[in-house]
Chains A and B, each alone.
Chain A
Amino acid sequence: MDALEIARWQFGITTVYHFMMVPLTIGLGLVVAVIQTMWHRTGKPEYLRMTKFWGKLFLINFIMGVATGIVQEFQFGMAWSEYSRFVGDVFGAPLAMEALLAFFVESTFLGLWIFGWKQLKPAVHLACLWIAVIGSAFSAYFIIVANSWMQHPVGVEMINGRPVMTDAWAVFTNNTALVAVPHTLFGALAVAGAFLLGIAWYHLWRRRHDGIDTIGADGKVIPGEAAIPGRDRTDHAVWIRSLRIGAVVAMISFAGTAVTGDLQGKLMFEQQPMKMAAAEAACHDGTGFSILSVGNVGSKNCDDVVAVIEVPGILSFLAKGDFTTEVKGVNSLLDQYKADYGTNLPDNPIYGDRAGQEIQYVPVMEVTYWGFRMMIGFGGVAALAALAALWLTRKGTVPASRGLMRLAVFGILAPFGANAAGWIFTEMGRQPFVVAPNPDPSGIDQVFMFTAAAVSPGVSAGELLTSLVVLTAVYAVLLVVEVKLLVKYIRGGVVAAMPELAHVPADENEDAAPRDGGPGRPGEADDVLAFAY
C-alpha cells in the first residue's frame, strides 16, 4: 500500500468508528431530553429513572464520540494537507463554526447537565440538556455542510487554481446538505430507537424470567415486585415505556430516512450520476432496479455483471419519479466523464507515482452496490422489527422466549450497520474524486479534486502506517472497554445509574422528591457533587 491508500484506510476506519458513537449521542440525547421533559411535566418516577438510566448510557457513549472527534479535525491537516490547502477557503469555515457554535454549546451545557442536578433549578437543568442536544444537531449540520461541499461544490469561484468562497449562503444552503442533514439525523434516531428497544426488551424478559412479572388469565402482564432495590412495579413501567418509545422512534426514523433518502437519491442521480450507476452496478442505460446482481460486480469490465432479478421501472422511479425515463449506466457515463475531466491524471508532482495514470471513474462496485443495499436492508429490517415488537408487547410485556430477546438485543446493531453502510457508500461512491465535480452547467464544473492529489506530500507512508496501526489499536481497545461498560450498566439496570434507589426504601414518591426541591435544594453544604466522578 502506498501513502494514499493508507491515508484512505485511516480516514475510513476512524470515520466509521467515530460515526458509531455520534449517532447514538445525537439520537439518545434527544430521547433523554424528551424523557426528562416528561418527568418534569408529570413527575412520574419512571420517567426520572428512565432519564437517569438512559442518561448514564448516553454519557458512557458520548465521551467516545468526543475523544474520536478530535482525530477527525486534525487528520485533514495531518494526512490530507493538499486537500486542506485546496479547499481551506470554503471547507474550513463550517469546521470552525462547528467548534465555535456547536461543540462549545454541547460540551459546556452537557457539563452543566451532568453536574448540575442539584445546583440548578429543575427547569434550568432540563434546559441545559435541550441546549446540548440542539448543539449536537447543529454540529451535524455544520459537518454535513462541509461534506456536502465535497459531494456538490457550490458558491465558489476558481482563483489561482483554488476554489474561493463567493457565496456563503449557497454553501450553507447547499441542497445536498439540506437533504443529507435530516437523513443523517433520522439515521441517528433510528440507532437510539433500536438501542432502547433492545435493552428494554432484555429487562422485561429478565423480569419475566425471574418470575417478577407474570401473565394473567387474560394474557395481560401482572407487574410484580422483588425484594431487591429497583426491581419494583415502577421498574416494569420504565422498561415497557422505554420499549414503546424505542419502537416508535425506530419506525418514525425509518420513514424519515426513507423519505429523505429518496430525495437524496434523486439529487445524486443529477449531481453524481456515476455514484448512482455504480450503486446499481448498472452498466447499461435502463429503467430496472436490481434486486440481485451476480457475476463480478467489482469488475471494471461491465460485461461480467448479470442482473438476475430486476424490477423494471423502479430505477427510473428512484431517479426521476416516473417509470419510463432511461437512467444512464456506467458505460455511457464513462465516456462523458472522460470527455469532461480527462482520461489520465495530470503529470503533476502532487500525484506522486500516480501522475499520468489512467483515471478509474467507476467506483468499486462491490462496495457501492452492496453498501447501498445494506443501508436500505438494515434500516428496513430494524423498522419491521420495531413494528413486530409493538405487536408482540401489546399485552404489556415481552414473550418469554430467550431467542426473541437475543434477536432484539442483536437488532441494536442493525441501524449502526445501516449508518456505516450509507456513509461508506456515499464516500466510496464519490471516488476517484475527493471533491466531486458539480455537473451544473454554470461554469462551476471545473471545481474538483482527485483523491490522488489530496494526500500530504511531505508525510511518508511509514508515518501514515504508524498512525493507522496506532489509532486502529487504540480504537479497538476502547471499543472493548466501552461495550463492556455499557453491558455492565445495562445489566445493572436502573439502580446502577441511580445509587440512591439502593439506599431509600423503594417508595414510589421518593423518586420524585428532588424535583420539588426536597433534599437537594441548592444552598446545602454537601450537594456539590450531584454526579461525582
Chain B
Amino acid sequence: MELLPTIWFIAIAVLWTGYLFLEGFDLGVGMLMKGFARNNTERRVLLNTVGPVWDGNEVWLLTAGGATFAAFPLWYASLFSALYLPLLLVLVALIFRAVAFEYRGKVDNPRWRARWDWAISLGSLVAAFGVGAALALTTTGLPLNANGDREGGPFAWFSAYAVLGGLAVVGFSLLHGLAFLALKTDGDVRHRARRWFVRLLPVLLLPIAGWAVSLQLLSGEVWTVLAVVAAVVAAVVAWNFARKGAEGRAFLSLGAFLLLGSASIFGAAFPVVLPSTLNPAFNLTISNASSSDYTLGLMTIVACIGLPLVLAYQAWTYWVFRRRVSDAHIPDAHSFLPAIAAKALAPKD
C-alpha cells in the first residue's frame, strides 16, 4: 500500500469534512434567510451569526480543490471537467452568495435587500446541492474513458446519486444551520431554530444516510458499516440533546454524525477516488491518479505546519465572536445615509 497517497486521500477527506462541517452551517443559515427568518431584523441576526466566519469557512472548499489538484491531479482534472455544467452552477451560486453577504446591507432599500436575500438563499441552496452531487458522484462514478474524459455529452454525469448527494448536503446543511442558530442566537430565533431542528432532523438526515448506506452496499467494509451505525447513534444523541435544550452538545453531536458519516463514505470509496461507470479498468485510484512521492512529501510537510495553524486561528475567531446574537444587538440600518449624502452632495449644476 502506498503510504503518501493514502495519507493524502485521508487529508482530502478531512478537508471535505472540514468544509461540510464549517461551511455546512453557513450554507444552512443562508438557505434559512428565506422561509425561516420572518423579517429584516431576524435576517440580520442570521447574517451576523455567520458574518465574521463564512469567508474563512469557504476557503476550506478552495483548499480541498487545491489539495486535490496538487495531490491527485488526474482526479481533479477528470472530476472537474466531467461535471462542467453543474460546477459552473456552483460557481455562479457561490459568486452571488458571497457578494450578497457583503452588499445586502450597503443600500437601505427593501427591494435591494430582497434581491440579495434571494441571492443568499438560492445561492446557498444551489451551492450545497452542487457540491453534494459532485461528492456523491466521485464516490459512485462517472462515465469516464481511458483518458479520464467524460463520454456521452454534457449531461452524462446525471444519475440518481447526483440527486441523492445533492439532497444529502442540502439536508445536512439546513439541519446544521439550525443547530448553529440555536447555539448562536437568542430569543425567538434561538427557540424556533431548536424546535425546527428537533422536528426536521429525521427528514433532513435521510438523504445523507441513504448515500452512506448505498455506498456500503457497493463497496463497504466492516469498519465503515460500523461507522454508519455510530453515525446514526450520534444523530439520535444530537436529537435528544436538542430536545433537552443542550444546544452546544446537539451541535457537537451533529458534528460527530458528519465525521462518522464522512468516514464511512470515504472509507468505503477507498482506494478508488473516482470510479468509471464504463469500465472498472478506467477507475482512478489513489495509485494511478496521484502526484509523485516528492510532491506529496512536500505537501505533507506544508499541511502539517499549515493545517494546525488554520485550526488554531479559526478556533480563536469563533472564541472572539462567541457571544449569542439577538435582535437587540442589531443597530438601525444606515437609513441616515441617503439623507446625509443627499445634503452633502454638491448641488448638481
Q: Assuming the A-B contacts A495-B344, A496-B340, are A533 and B105 also in contact, with contact meaning beta carbons closer than 8 angstroms in the complex?
A: yes
Q: Assuming the A-B contacts A78-B80, A115-B52, are A63 and B66 also in contact, with contact meaning beta carbons closer than 8 angstroms in the complex?
A: no
Task: Check: A158 CB closer than 8 A to any chain B CB.
Answer: no
A328 to chain B, nearest CB (A): 36
A16 to B38, CA, bound (A): 41
What is A's interface to B at a CB cutoff of 8 Å?
A: 59-60, 62-64, 66-71, 73-74, 76-79, 81-82, 84-85, 87-93, 95-101, 103-105, 107-112, 114-116, 119-120, 159, 164-166, 168, 206, 209-210, 228-231, 456-460, 462-463, 466-467, 470-471, 474, 478, 481, 485, 488-489, 491-493, 495-496, 499, 502, 526, 528-529, 532-533
How many Cβ-Cβ contacts under 8 Å join chain A to chain B? 288
A228 touches B344 (CB 8 A): yes
Please name 29 pairs of A and B residues whose Cβ atoms are closer than 8 Å in the assembled complex, sorted by A.
Answer: A67-B94, A78-B87, A81-B149, A84-B77, A85-B77, A87-B73, A88-B77, A90-B295, A96-B302, A99-B62, A100-B67, A100-B310, A108-B53, A108-B313, A108-B317, A111-B51, A112-B52, A164-B294, A165-B292, A231-B344, A463-B85, A467-B84, A478-B95, A478-B99, A488-B341, A489-B106, A492-B344, A496-B341, A529-B331
Q: In the assembled complex, which residues on chain A have CB atoms less than 8 Å from the CB atom of B343?
A: 228
Known: A111-B51, A532-B44. 15 other contacts (CB 8 A): A59-B102, A67-B99, A70-B62, A77-B77, A92-B69, A96-B69, A96-B302, A100-B67, A100-B310, A108-B317, A168-B294, A467-B88, A526-B328, A526-B329, A532-B330
A261 to B59, CA, bound (A): 32
A400 to chain B, nearest CB (A): 12
Task: Check: B70 CB closer than 8 A to any chain A CB.
Answer: yes
Q: In the assembled complex, which residues on chain B have CB atoms less than 8 Å from the CB atom of A493?
A: 341, 344
B85 touches A533 (CB 8 A): no
A60 to B317, CA, bound (A): 22
A88 touches B56 (CB 8 A): no
Q: Which of B61-106 contact A (CB under 8 A)?
A: 61-63, 65-67, 69-74, 76-85, 87-88, 91-92, 94-96, 98-99, 101-106
A456 to B344, CA, bound (A): 54
Task: Check: B282 CB closer than 8 A to any chain A CB.
Answer: no
A78 touches B328 (CB 8 A): no
A467 to B154, CA, bound (A): 12
B69 touches A104 (CB 8 A): no
A90 to B294, CA, bound (A): 10
A502 to chain B, nearest CB (A): 5
B81 touches A100 (CB 8 A): no
A458 touches B82 (CB 8 A): yes
B302 touches A100 (CB 8 A): yes
A147 to B39, CA, bound (A): 47
A60 to B130, CA, bound (A): 27
Task: Check: B55 CB closer than 8 A to any chain A CB.
Answer: yes
A63 to B97, CA, bound (A): 10
Q: In the assembled complex, which residues on chain B have CB atoms less than 8 Å from the CB atom of A101?
A: 302, 306
A532 touches B48 (CB 8 A): yes
A164 to chain B, nearest CB (A): 5
